[in-house]
């Protein structure tokens, strides 16, 4: 790949219920070793989990900033209960760090003060992005199910309005959220009495079809793809189309190495083929997919033709 | 007390006439394309059909609500704008929208036409609803099927617009407008194409022992024993296995219908303005039966009479039905 | 009453080859007349079929000695009785009790409910079947009554007798 020092690598918010200790260790390593430029923190999926790591947040922010990373706080995707409304309002009131909004309740609270638009905000098109830009959005993360032509058009429109544009290039895709907790349900519990069973599944709880084919992952109220999105081979095209930020979602693999592979590929220290081999090694048996981007079924892996 | 309008599904012109004749206060429908969330084969309206249908409905005092409740992908926004232009020209009484760009276009271009916020916008808090009201002049919000009655009552106090809730039909589980499950397996998107578990990707396979499996795009969504009722392979209604559930279980929910007939008086009391019956993809016989029964019940309640709830409960007799989240948050 | 058990495709069907061919020959003129009239009265039906105007539908009333082959192409409409052993390869097959099929045509029964219960069996192209159902559902009134009406009082009497002979089916849940 050509030199892309302008392109930022970001680390999305942890979608899973990793323990406070695991998070501390994870972010310490990210701060010291991972070649990512920006890190999103905060609980996006389940408001019940937030108390477990909220107390550590200031220290984590400090640690990451000392490591040279820009920190952004992400708001909840689902806002319904009082505590969720309060959490969203509190985040929206902050001046620093930057915030990424994932629910219209956050947009309401934020008013016209600058903010980022998260992947749950359904910024699918130029009309919506233009509206959001007029309301103070400075940065938009596109929905991961968008196909390449739409990504290109949306990106051009956003860049023309002065917005930065982010696309998820690694990790499980968020496919659905619900009011109901499917982790609790699997253990015959309700959401209010979940006893945090989701902490057992660091990379989501696998669902298989009844003829034993892996299909989806459950993460509390969220349903995710079984496959990891991998748009490393597509990154040059994303960048050529004007995408400024490439998002890696934290999975239960060596994320420092994953980030390094992406950074090395972006900076031409590693060819795409070798980078793909490295990524494959880091992710054991997890299937990779890029179907959404190619306008195919999301789970599919479409082979890229060799660059000319 | 609210007016308790009855909002009824219309998948075809014939279904629309059926709903109007059965006493709908308003019908909702869509065009034959990606601009609405029931873009199913053989369903929906051409502009000519909509024109005739609007005339039929208006002659009988029934309103027509046009669903433009999907999310245009970048580069295709014109299709949604043209649909809005057509709807405005034909005199629909309101647009049901989800996308901010679409809402902004209509609010600016047709300020005299009512805007309703679709359930596809997933506005489930007073703040989210107020965002849409203050920015796009939304007159009514269709609430997600995830709120309890006390929560609805509280929301009512904090928002400046009317509330519409689902009372009967398919029980959606995922937050609408945030679901890419279908696109993950089939390459067709619920948000961008208005498609959910498309029939073109559905296959039923019967085994020699009489059992049957239903597949979506080659993925087995469920298996049924010889005497078990088979279901349509909707991903969120399938049976799967998990590490703790080796036998196959409904990971998301049992196949079940929403029926809030028992809660009707409470919902009216909570300030719900309009009740929505799900099912644009259902037959005329469904529309006729369900709309007539709810019409009678709502008229009774409006007139201060005891509604014959038994008739409504009987609509789903013999099947599993639920009051979902409306009754208790234990559902979550 | 469950009628699901006997629509198994592996179950024997009524009508040996001779009876079946004889029955086909008898009903064919009636079918041709019916379908031409229905098509002429309800032209909008074809638009809803979209690309499936050319699909071969096999409608298989399990207790009759023959099946029905439908190709709803307005330019070259086919609706004919065929012996099961001579049925053409079908794009979509709908199999069930005759009266249930008749009710579906009329939207008396909620097709959605029956389609995916065991009362009715759908194989082949599911989209074709869904389109056919939605197209038929957009027809006002009763196609069965219309058909019976073409044959005057005798036709209506036969339909009434048929309806009495079958129990009512209750509606199932919505799968789609």
Is residue B204 in a domain?
yes
pTM of the complete model:
0.92
Q: Do A177 and B132 touch (CB under 8 A)?
A: no
Judge if B68 and B209 occupy the same domain: no
Q: Is the pLDDT of residue A140 over 60?
A: yes
B228 and B313: one domain? no
Residue ending a domain, among B223, B250, B277, is B250
Q: State how far Cα A173 lies from the chain centre.
A: 8
Host domain of residue B326 = 5-171+256-331
Encode chain C (176 residues) as per-residue pLDDT tens digits.
233 435 555 566 666 778 888 888 888 888 888 888 888 888 888 999 999 999 999 999 998 889 999 999 988 899 999 999 899 999 999 998 888 888 777 766 665 666 656 678 888 998 999 899 889 888 877 777 777 777 777 777 777 777 776 654 433 333 34
> Which tens digits make up the pLDDT trace of A17-34?
999 999 999 999 999 999
Judgement on whether residues B88 and B230 belong to the same structural domain of the protein: no
H-state helical runs in B60-148: 77-90, 100-109, 126-136
* Calpha distance C6→C12 (Å, rounded): 9
Helix A126-134, helix A148-160: angle, nearest 10: 30
According to the model, what pLDDT value does residue B309 have?
72
Q: For A253-260, what is the mean pLDDT? A: 98
Answer whether residue B153 is part of any domain.
Answer: yes
Q: Do chains A and C touch (3 or more CB pairs under 8 A)?
A: no
> Are residues B244 and B260 part of one domain?
no
User: In the predicted model, what is the mean pLDDT of residues B286-308?
Assistant: 89
Residues B246 and B264 in one domain: no
Give the pLDDT band (50/70/90) at residue A297.
Answer: very high
The answer to whether the beta carbons of residues C126 and C92 sit under 8 Å apart is: yes
Half-sphere exposure of B48 (CA within 13 A, CB side): 2
pLDDT of B293 strictly over 50: yes
Q: What is the pLDDT of residues B142-170, one digit of tens each?
A: 998 888 899 999 999 999 999 999 999 87
Do residue B260 and residue B193 come from a single domain?
no
Q: Are residues B126 and B191 in the same domain?
A: no
Domain end among B202, B217, B250: B250
Number of compact structural domains in chain B:
2
CB contact under 8 A, A186 and B72: no
Interface of A with B in 49-78 (CB under 8 A): 77-78
pLDDT at C8: 57
User: What is d(CA B177, CA B183) in angstroms, rounded to the nearest whole number?
Assistant: 13
A contact test, residue of B148, B224, B236, B332 with most A CBs within 10 A:
B332
With contacts defined as CB-CB under 8 Å, which chain B residues touch A46?
A: none
Q: Are residue B57 and residue B161 in the same domain, yes or no?
A: yes
Note whether B120 and B152 are same-domain residues.
yes
CATH number at B281 reads 3.20.20.70
Q: Which of A128-142, B203-217, C67-81 has the highest mean pLDDT?
A: A128-142
Which sequence spans correspond to the domains of chain A?
8-289
pLDDT digit string, tens, across residues B180-206: 999 999 999 999 999 999 999 999 888
Q: A115 contacts in B (CB within 8 Å)? A: none
B218 shares a domain with B265: no
Res. B325: pLDDT tops 90: no
> Is the pLDDT at B318 greater than 80, yes or no?
no
What is C27-142's CATH number?
3.30.1050.10
| Whole-number average pLDDT of chain A | 95
- For residues A270 and A3, give the distance between their C-alpha atoms in angstroms, rounded to a whole number: 11
A206 touches chain B (CB under 8 A): yes
Q: What's the pLDDT score for residue C9?
A: 53
Q: How confident is the model at residue A110 (pLDDT cuts 50, 70, 90)?
A: very high
Sheet holding C57-61, edge to edge: C78-82, C67-71, C57-61, C92-96, C120-124
For residue B319, the model assigns a pLDDT of 61
- Closest alpha carbon within chain B to A156: B74
- pLDDT score at B315: 67
CA distance B178 to B197: 15
Backbone φ and ψ for A97, nearest 5 degrees, come out as -70, -175
- Residue B239 forms contact with A (CB below 8 Å): yes
CB pairs under 8 A between A and B: 230
Q: Which residues contact B243 (CB under 8 A, 6 or more apart)?
A: A205, A206
CATH topology of domain A8-289: TIM Barrel (3.20.20)
Report residue B316's pLDDT band, with 50, 70 and 90 as the boundaries: low
| Residue that wins the pLDDT comparison between A16 and C137 | A16
CA angle in degrees (0–180, nearest 5) for C32-C30-B15: 70
Mean pLDDT of B5-30: 97
- Per-residue pLDDT at C15: 64
User: Which of C125, C137, C175 minimises the CB distance to B14?
Assistant: C137
Q: Sorting pLDDT into bands at 50, 70 and 90, what band is B1?
A: very low
- Domain ranges (residues) in chain C: 27-142
Tell me if chain B has a CB within 8 Å of the CB of A222.
no
Q: A82-92 and B126-136 are packed helices; what angle lies between their axes, rounded to 10 degrees?
A: 60
Percent of chain A with pLDDT over 70: 97
Q: Of A99-108, B49-58, C43-52, give the lowest mean pLDDT range.
A: C43-52
Mean pLDDT of all residues belonging to chain B: 92
Q: Is the pLDDT of residue A198 over 90?
A: yes
B27/B134 same-domain check: yes
* pLDDT at residue number B204: 87
pLDDT of residue C114: 62
Which of A291-295, B135-139, C43-47 is predicted least confidently?
A: C43-47
User: Are residue B120 and residue B148 in the same domain, yes or no?
Assistant: yes
Q: Is pLDDT of A211 > 80?
A: yes
Percent of chain B clearing pLDDT 90 (strictly above): 72
* Residue B229 DSSP class: P
């Amino acid at each position: 790949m050509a030199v892309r020092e302008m392109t930022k690598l970001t680390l999305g918010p942890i979608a899973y219920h990793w323990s406070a200790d695991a998070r501390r260790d994870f972010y310490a390593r990210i701060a010291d070793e991972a070649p990512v430029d920006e890190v999103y923190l905060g609980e996006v999926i389940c408001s019940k989990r937030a108390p477990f790591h909220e107390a550590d947040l200031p220290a984590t922010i400090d640690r990451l900033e000392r490591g040279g990373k820009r920190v952004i706080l992400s708001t909840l995707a689902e806002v319904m209960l009082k505590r969720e409304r309060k959490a969203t309002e509190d985040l929206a009131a902050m001046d620093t760090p930057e915030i990424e909004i994932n629910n219209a309740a956050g947009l309401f609270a934020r008013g016209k003060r600058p903010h980022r638009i998260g992947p749950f905000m359904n910024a699918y098109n130029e009309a919506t992005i233009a509206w959001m830009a007029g309301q103070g959005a400075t940065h938009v993360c596109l929905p991961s199910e968008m196909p390449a032509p739409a990504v290109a058009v949306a990106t051009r429109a956003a860049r023309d309005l002065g917005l930065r544009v982010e696309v998820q290039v690694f990790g499980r895709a968020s496919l659905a959220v619900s009011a109901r907790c499917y982790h609790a349900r699997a253990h015959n519990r309700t959401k209010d009495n979940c006893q945090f069973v989701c902490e057992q599944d660091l990379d989501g709880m696998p669902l298989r079809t009844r003829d034993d084919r892996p299909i989806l992952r459950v993460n509390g109220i969220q349903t995710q793809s079984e496959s990891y999105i991998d748009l490393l081979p597509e990154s040059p095209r994303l960048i050529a189309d004007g995408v400024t930020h490439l998002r890696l979602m934290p999975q239960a693999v060596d994320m420092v190495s994953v980030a390094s592979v992406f950074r090395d590929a972006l900076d031409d220290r590693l060819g795409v083929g070798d980078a793909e081999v490295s990524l494959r090694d880091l992710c054991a048996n997890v299937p990779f997919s890029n179907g959404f981007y190619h306008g195919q079924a999301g789970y599919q892996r479409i082979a890229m033709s060799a660059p000319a | 007390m609210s007016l308790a309008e009855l909002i009824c599904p219309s998948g075809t012109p014939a279904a629309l006439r059926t709903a109007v004749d059965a006493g709908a206060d308003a019908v909702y429908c869509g065009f034959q394309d990606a601009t609405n969330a029931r873009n199913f084969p053989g369903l929906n309206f051409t502009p000519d059909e909509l024109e005739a249908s609007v005339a039929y409905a208006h002659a009988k005092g029934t309103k027509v609500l046009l669903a433009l409740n999907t999310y245009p992908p970048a580069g295709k926004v014109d299709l949604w704008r043209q649909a809005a232009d057509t709807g405005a020209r034909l005199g629909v009484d309101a647009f049901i929208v989800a996308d901010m760009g679409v809402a902004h276009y209509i609010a600016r271009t047709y300020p005299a036409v009512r805007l309703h916020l679709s359930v596809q916008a997933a506005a489930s808090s007073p703040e989210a609803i107020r965002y849409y009201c203050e920015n796009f002049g939304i007159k009514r919000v269709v609430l997600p099927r995830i709120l309890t009655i006390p929560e609805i009552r509280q929301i009512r106090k904090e928002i400046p617009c009317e509330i519409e809730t689902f009372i009967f039909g398919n029980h959606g589980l995922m937050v609408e407008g945030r679901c890419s499950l279908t696109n993950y397996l089939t390459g067709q998107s619920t948000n961008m194409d208005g498609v959910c578990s498309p029939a073109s990707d559905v296959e039923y396979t019967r085994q020699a022992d009489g059992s049957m499996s239903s597949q979506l795009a080659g993925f087995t969504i469920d298996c049924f024993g010889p005497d078990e009722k088979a279901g349509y392979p909707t991903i969120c209604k399938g049976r799967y296995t998990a590490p703790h559930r080796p036998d196959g279980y409904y990971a998301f929910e049992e196949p079940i219908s929403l029926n809030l007939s028992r809660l009707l008086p409470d919902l009216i009391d909570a300030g719900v303005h309009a009740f929505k019956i799900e099912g644009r993809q259902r037959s005329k016989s469904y529309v006729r039966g369900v709309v007539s029964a709810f019409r009678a019940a709502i008229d009774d309640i409006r007139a201060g009479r005891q509604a014959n709830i038994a008739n409504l409960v009987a609509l789903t007799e013999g099947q599993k039905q639920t009051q979902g989240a409306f009754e208790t948050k234990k559902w979550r | 009453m469950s009628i699901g058990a006997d629509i198994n495709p592996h179950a024997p069907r009524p009508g040996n080859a001779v009876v079946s061919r004889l029955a086909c020959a008898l009903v064919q003129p009636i079918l041709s007349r019916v379908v031409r009239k229905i098509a002429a009265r309800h032209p909008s039906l074809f638009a809803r079929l979209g690309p499936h105007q050319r699909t071969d539908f096999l409608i298989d009333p399990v207790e009759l000695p023959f099946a029905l082959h439908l190709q709803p192409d307005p330019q070259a409409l086919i609706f004919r009785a065929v012996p099961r052993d001579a049925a053409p390869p079908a794009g979509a097959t709908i199999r069930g009790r005759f009266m249930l099929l008749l009710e579906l045509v009329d939207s008396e029964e909620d097709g959605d409910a029956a389609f995916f219960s065991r009362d009715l069996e759908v194989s082949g192209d599911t989209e074709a079947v869904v389109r056919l159902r939605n197209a038929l559902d957009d027809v006002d009134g009763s196609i069965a009554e219309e058909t019976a009406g073409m044959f005057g009082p005798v036709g209506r009497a036969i339909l009434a007798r048929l309806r009495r002979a079958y129990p009512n089916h209750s509606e199932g849940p919505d799968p789609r």
